[in-house]
Amino acid sequence: MSARARLFDDPVPELPAGVRLYRRCLNEQEQAALLEEVVEILRRAPLFTPRMPRTGRAFSVRMSNTGPLGWVADREKGYRYEPAHPETGRPWPAMPKMLLELWAELAGYPAPPEAGLINHYAPGAKMGLHIDIDEEALDAPIVSISLGCSARFRLGGLKRREPTISFDLHAGDVLILEGPSRLRYHGIDRIYPGTGSLPSEIGEGRINITLRRVAHP
Ligand code: SIN
Ligand code: FE2
């Protein structure tokens, strides 16, 4: 199937309670505006390679953050939120207004997100099945925005071994995990190279931004 055919022949799957998928929530202009903001953020807070706790194995995804807190991962101290970039030592760039507005519109939460984790998937990158559990405010949703190439998303249950469903995420899609699905396992099996474009400063692939509330307001 061609990339274009895939985009238009892609039924919205039946999703469990607490999962909301907004196809093309951001139109092309909005995606381009957001990508400009991402370029500026990455200029000041370059993508870094996170590493697994203990083994030190590198993620295939590279990351940065926007907002007062950023998610980081390294061999010595594991997964956590930090107010500064692990390599530059500088505070993360402020969260763009667009992202704060998107959260205000969709999250239904009485406080703004503190972390916007930016993942860059080059062709071949993926993200294993995991849960987002490093936040104290588990009553807040995870709001996830896709840009650039499409990707195969896998959604599981509350335990690692439970069955999973898979569907594609495309540029402009917004996916929300909340309430009974806030702690569902999820991951990215692969991206589809050539299905979308990113600014040349970023390079080929896919950008995903997840907005998270970390502390209880
Ligand atoms: C993540 O779970 O951190 C990323 C999900 C995605 O890339 O869509
Ligand atoms: Fe996640």
Note whether 167 and 175 are within 8 A (CB): no
210 lines ligand 1 (CB under 6 A): yes
| Residue 208 belongs to a domain | yes
Nearest CA among 146, 158, 152, 161 for reference residue 185:
158
- pTM of the entire structure? 0.95
Distance 203 CA to ligand 2 centre (A): 22
| Residue 197 belongs to a domain | yes
| Residue 24 belongs to a domain | yes
208 lines ligand 1 (CB under 6 A): yes
Nearest CA among 127, 183, 181, 116 for reference residue 154:
127
Tokens of 71: 């998610």
Distance 131 CA to ligand 1 centre (A): 10
Say how many C-beta atoms besides its own lie within 10 A of residue 85's C-beta.
Answer: 19
Looking at residues 6-22, what average pLDDT do you find? 79
| Residue 217 belongs to a domain | no
pLDDT in tens, 134-159: 999 999 999 999 999 999 999 999 99
The domain that contains 59 carries what CATH number?
A: 2.60.120.590
pLDDT in tens, 23-80: 999 999 999 999 999 999 999 999 999 999 999 999 999 999 999 999 999 999 999 9
64 lines ligand 1 (CB under 6 A): no
Domain containing residue 171:
3-212
pLDDT in tens, 100-142: 999 999 999 999 999 999 999 999 999 999 999 999 999 999 9
Q: At what angle do helices 97-106 and 28-44 cross, to 10 degrees?
A: 120
Number of helices (H) and strands (E), helices first, in the chain?
3, 12
Q: Report the pLDDT value the prediction gives residue 176, as an integer from 0 to 100.
A: 98
| Residue 180 belongs to a domain | yes
> Which ligand 1 atom is the nearest neighbour of the CA of 146?
8
Number of structural domains (the chain) is 1
150 lines ligand 1 (CB under 6 A): no
Q: Report the pLDDT value the prediction gives residue 13, as an integer from 0 to 100.
A: 76
